[in-house]
Structure 1
Amino acid sequence: MLTTLAIANYRSINTLIVPLARLNLVTGPNGSGKSNLYRALRLLAETAQGGVINALAREGGLSSTVWAGPESISRRMRNGEVEIQGGPRSDVVRLRLGFAAQDFSYAISLGLPPPPLDQSAFGLDPEIKRECIWAGPLYRPASLLVDRAGPMIRAREGRSWDVLAQHTPTFDSLFDQVGSMRSSPEVIELRERIRGWRFYDHFRSDTEAPARQPQLGTRTPVLHHDGRDLAAALQTIREIGEPDVLDDAISDAFPGARIAIDVQAGGLFALAFYQHGLLRPLSASELSDGTLRYLLLIAALLTPRPPTMMVLNEPETSLHPDLLPALARLIIRASKNCQIWVVSHASRLIAALERDPHCNSIVLEKELGQTGIVGQGMLDQPPWRWPD
């Protein structure tokens, strides 16, 4: 489980150190930075997928994503005594992302290449300047296990360092070099852990959505991020997961309802939704957007193969407010098996989740264009140090 998330110089986030628990609820008014926090987490996940540079390019490049305000905001600026203004920078501009856990922690730093920039058509692509993996939650030079500075990657070998690579491309993460780092199992461990993170925010529910159509069914312990294999995922839960919990989750949201999976010719799986008072089951194509999305959330949260972390971005979309307490109970139950993030602005879902004593409520605010956590002072931040 992650204990801390750290972000610096990303969009509206100048510096943000976020304490984490097993169930994390991110809320705040529109424009407070919820989406930026979510996107930073997705960007961090791309480091293990080999796509962090491409992900930044899709956002407009480093110059479009880096914090646009001054390096620091003084007390007089906050009080309105002087205008917001910049000054000589004490450090080079770097987009930094990192997380801490009890066993291994990780940080990455990205910046623009040094001039001249016209040597390549890709001269404006950001470069990976530094990556570090260290033991324990707090960075110390003595706890550093793997250190990437520019093109060179080295790993600790007893009291000395073993150089693993000297010509690593600036657009490749150290996680892309796993084949040459078999002597550093923590790299493989962290890469697979990050690759296991699941993000659910684009469930389709339109008339052409794949979840509404019969699909070829195979065992599906992990629901696809767009929900295309819903029927197979629900049947997998029934066979190798917790079928009683599945039935309870459906009846909790839709009293008297139940589901079945019809196996059609050619191995196609189709969803049948039985509802009290109806003479025949409803097919997935007949379900309302809210009902279909709720079934998708059930399939995601009751996965027989829980990830290290699951992130739900605005799961309340298209759901009737009366469904939100049942969704909260489902999320709280799922948080017993994996770390969960919920990004939401639905007051009823927020209130239901906050009733759980283990819910870590993170309320964001924006002051002078900078995202912060409501009520978090300097002494309230979890301990965190960026590698030098």
Structure 2
Amino acid sequence: MILTLAVSGYRSLRDLVLPLDRITLVTGANGSGKSSLYRSIRLLAEVAQGRAIASLAAEGGLQSTLWAGPEAFSRGMKQGEVPVQGTVRKSVVSLKLGFADEDYGYAIDLGLPSDAGRSFFAMDPEIKTEALWAGEALSRANEIAGRNGPAVRVLDGKGQRVPVVQNLARFDSMMTHAANPKDGLELLVLRERMRAWRFYDHLRTDRDAPARVPRIGTRTPVLSGDGGDLAAALQTILEIGDEHALAEAVEDAFPGASVEITVNDGYFELLMKQKGLLRPLKSAELSDGTLRFLLLAAALLSPRPAPLIVLNEPETSLHPELLEPLGRLIGAAAEKTQVIVVSHAESLVAALSALPGCAHYNLRKQLGETVVDGIEPPRWNWPKR
């Protein structure tokens, strides 16, 4: 389970360190930074896939994602006595992301390219430094692997930090290029753990949604990001997962209803029997809210539980009566999976807040910066360049 999430210099997240729980609920007004927090976690996951630089480019490049305010706020700025203005910068420009779980911690620092103007890729950020450590917060004593510039050093069996990569490209992470069973076992373990994180924010339910049409199915223990393999994912739950939990979730949301999967020439199709109807409805006939709930059920009841599932506004298209059943579904999933939920639906927020092991953070903006009131930030140290 992730215990600490740290973000610095990303959009409105100037310097945020949050303790996480089994369920972490993030709320706040529009523009308070909820989407930025979600994106920062997703960007952290992209590091383990080797796609962090490309993901930043898709957001407009590093310059578009950096904190746009001053490096620090003076007391006068905070009290409104003087206007917010820039000062002489004391630190280098950087975007930092990190987390610590029960075993390891990891952090990455991305900065401006050193060859700006001499390459067609001069807008690409550079990975300046990375660190992997054991325990709560990074220190010299507990660092297992570190990258500074092109060199990666890891702690060997004798307690010595030895180089394993000498010429790592500035756009490549040690998570993807130094993780191996011989010299970088801890890097390999954490990389695969991060690769198993799941994000759901584009589960389509529109008329042309992939989940509404039959498609060739294979065993699907993990629902895809767009939900196109819904029928196969539900059948996988029925065969090798918790079919009783699925039936209970459907009954909880739609009393008297049940789902079944048909297969014709290898094409899987979802059918839903509803109380009072003389025939089952095909997925193409389901309402947006009904289809979305079934998509979320398939994601949360996966036979292969993820170490982390992040749901961004899962209440979209759902009728208010479905929000409490969704809260119970998330609570059941959290027994096996850590869940982060970004939401502004009052009924869902109330249902999740009442669950044990739920940390609720309400974000707000202060002088353009996302802040969270009433928390004691965990101990955290960033790696030095």
Normalising by the residue count of structure 2, what TM-score does the alignment of the two structures yield?
0.98
Deviation of the 1:175 alpha carbon: 1.6
- Equivalent residues in 2 for 1:181-220, closer than 5 Å: 182-220=182-220
For the residue of structure 1 that corresponds to 2:97, the secondary structure is: strand
User: Helix, strand or coil: the match of 2:153?
Assistant: strand
Q: What secondary structure is seen at the aligned counterpart in 1 of 2:225?
A: coil
The answer to whether the 8 A contact 1:314-1:344 is kept is yes
**8 Å CA contact retained: 1:262, 1:270:** yes
Question: Equivalents in 1 of 2:70, 2:329: separation in Å?
Answer: 43
Map of 1:268 onto structure 2 = 267
Output the CA distance in 1 between the equivalents of 2:82 and 2:292. 50
Matched residue, 1:16: 16
Match of 2:244 in 1: 244
Please provide the CA RMSD for this pair.
Answer: 1.1
* Cα deviations by residue, 1:57-78 (Å, 9 ceiling, x for unpaired): 1111111111111111122111
User: Which residue of structure 1 aligns with residue 229 of structure 2?
Assistant: 229
Deviates more, 1:154-163 or 1:34-43: 154-163
Secondary structure, in 3 states, of the residue corresponding to 1:25? Answer: strand
Note the C-alpha offset of 1:111.
0.4
Contact persistence 2:258–2:272 (CA under 8 A): yes
The code of the aligned residue for 1:283 comes to: K
Task: State the Cα distance separating 1:205 from its structure 2 match.
Answer: 1.1
Distance 1:271 1:123 in 2: 49
Distance 1:82 1:326 in 2: 49
Specify the SS of the correspondent of 1:293: helix
**By how many angstroms is 1:204 displaced?**
1.0
Q: Deviations over 1:76-101 (max 9, x none)?
A: 11111111112111111110000011
Contact 1:262 1:271 survives alignment (8 Å):
yes
> TM-score by structure 1 length?
0.97
Please state whether the residue corresponding to 1:323 is helix, strand or coil: helix
Residues 181 and 243 (structure 1), Cα distance of their counterparts in 2 relative to 1, 3 Å cut = closer
Equivalent positions of 1:141-160 (< 5 A) are: 141-157=140-156, 158-160=158-160
1:6 aligned counterpart, secondary structure: strand
Residue 181 of structure 1 deviates from its aligned partner by 6.8
Partner AA of 2:377 in structure 1:
Q
Larger CA deviation: 52-61 vs 324-333:
52-61
Residue identity opposite 1:260 in structure 2: E
Q: Secondary structure at the match of 2:48?
A: coil
Deviation of 1:180 after TM superposition, in Å, equals 6.1
Aligned-residue sequence identity (percent) comes to: 54
Q: Which residue of 2 aligns with 1:347?
A: 346
Unaligned runs of 5+ in 2: none
Q: Secondary structure at the match of 1:54?
A: helix
Structure 1 CA distance, aligned partners of 2:273 and 2:181? 53
CA distance in 2, matches of 1:159, 1:247: 52
Note if 1:303 corresponds to 2:302.
Answer: yes
Query: For 1:224 and 1:343, how far apart are their aligned partners in 2?
Result: 19
- Distance in 2 between residues matched to 1:118 and 1:35, nearest whole Å: 32
Instruction: Give the match for residue 258 of structure 2.
Output: 258
Q: Secondary structure at the match of 1:211?
A: helix
Contact 2:138 2:382 (8 Å CA) reproduced: yes
- 8 Å CA contact 1:164, 1:180 repeated in 2: no
Alpha-carbon separation, structure 2, partners of 1:6 and 1:182: 29
Residue in 1 that maps onto 2:175? 175
- 2: CA distance between counterparts of 1:321 and 1:291? 12
Secondary structure at the aligned position of 2:110 is classed as strand
Structure 1 residues 37-76: aligned runs within 5 Å:
37-76=37-76
1:215-263, CA deviations, whole angstroms, 9 ceiling, x for partnerless residues? 1121111111111111111111111111111111001000000111111
**Aligned ranges 1:68-87 → 2 under 5 Å:** 68-87=68-87
Q: What does residue range 84-95 of structure 1 map to in structure 2 within 5 Å?
A: 84-95=84-95
What secondary structure, in the 3-state scheme, does the structure 2 residue paired with 1:48 have?
helix
Q: Which residue of 2 aligns with 1:35?
A: 35
Q: Does residue 1:381 correspond to 2:377, yes or no?
A: yes
- Are the counterparts in 1 of residues 165 and 178 from structure 2 also a CA contact under 8 Å? no
Q: Aligned with 2:85: secondary structure?
A: coil
Return the letter of the residue paired with 2:36: N
One-letter code of the match for 1:351?
A: A
Q: Is the contact made by 1:293 and 1:319 (CA closer than 8 Å) also made in structure 2?
A: yes
Mapped contact 2:179–2:188 kept (Cα < 8 A): no
Distance 1:54 1:353, change over 3 A: same
Whether 1:25 and 2:25 are equivalent positions in the alignment is yes
Does the residue aligned with 2:352 lie in a helix, a strand or coil?
helix
SS at match of 1:77: helix
Look up the match of 1:372: 371
1:137 is aligned to: 136
Superposition deviation, residue 118 in structure 1:
2.2
Matched-pair contact (CA < 8 Å) for 2:180–2:188: no
The amino acid of 1:289's aligned partner reads D
Aligned equivalents of 2:255 and 2:96: distance in 1? 48
The structural deviation recorded for 1:182 is 2.9
Query: 1:308 & 1:282 partners in 2: Cα distance?
Result: 34
Secondary structure of 2:164's counterpart equals: strand
Please give the alpha-carbon distance, in whole angstroms, between the structure 2 residues aligned to 1:216 and 1:27: 38
In structure 1, the gaps of 5 or more residues are none
Q: Secondary structure at the residue paired with 2:245?
A: helix
Instruction: Give the conservation status (yes or no) of the 8 Å contact 1:164–1:181.
Output: no
Distance in structure 2 (CA, Å) of the matches to 1:196 and 1:98: 17
- Note the C-alpha offset of 1:112: 0.7
